Structure 1
Amino acid sequence: MKKFIIPLLLLISINTFSQSKKDRIKALKVAFLTERLELTQEEAQQFWPVYNAYDDITREIKHEELKNIRREIKDNIATLSDERSSELLSKIASAQERLHDEEVKLNSKLKKIISPKKIIQLKVAEEDFKHKLFEQWKKMKHEGKKP
Structure 2
Amino acid sequence: MKTKIALLLLFISSFSFSQGFKEKKEKIKALKVAFITEELNLTTEEAQKFWPVYNSYDDKQFEIRHNKMKAIVNQYESSEIEKLSEKEALQLVKKMEANEDEMHNLKKKYIKDLLNVLPAKKVVKLKKVEDEFNRKLFKQYRDRRD
- The equivalent of 1:25 in structure 2 is 28
**Max Rg structure:** 2
**Two-structure CA RMSD over aligned residues (Å):** 2.0
Cα displacement string for residues 44-64 of structure 1 (whole angstroms, at most 9, x for unaligned residues): 011001111111111111111
TM-score (norm 1): 0.75
Gaps of 5+ in 1: 1-16
Equivalent position to 2:57, from 54, 59, 73: 54
Distance 1:90 1:46 in 2: 36
Distance 2:29 2:39 in 1: 15
- The equivalent of 2:135 in structure 1 is 131
- The equivalent of 1:41 in structure 2 is 44
- The equivalent of 1:113 in structure 2 is 117
Distance 1:21 1:36 in 2: 22
- The equivalent of 1:92 in structure 2 is 96
Aligned letter for 2:43?
T
Distance 2:76 2:140 in 1: 29
The 1:118–1:89 alpha-carbon spacing in structure 2 relative to 1, beyond 3 Å, is same
Cα displacement string for residues 69-101 of structure 1 (whole angstroms, at most 9, x for unaligned residues): 222355433323212211111111111111111
Distance 1:77 1:137 in 2: 33
* SS of equivalent to 1:20: helix
The 1:62–1:43 alpha-carbon spacing in structure 2 relative to 1, beyond 3 Å, is same
Equivalent position to 1:72, from 61, 72, 75: 75
How far 1:117 sits from its partner (Å)?
1.1
Distance 1:88 1:59 in 2: 20
- The equivalent of 1:122 in structure 2 is 126
- The equivalent of 2:105 in structure 1 is 101
TM-score (norm 2): 0.76
Cα displacement string for residues 117-144 of structure 1 (whole angstroms, at most 9, x for unaligned residues): 1111111122222222222333333x3x
Larger fraction in helix: 2
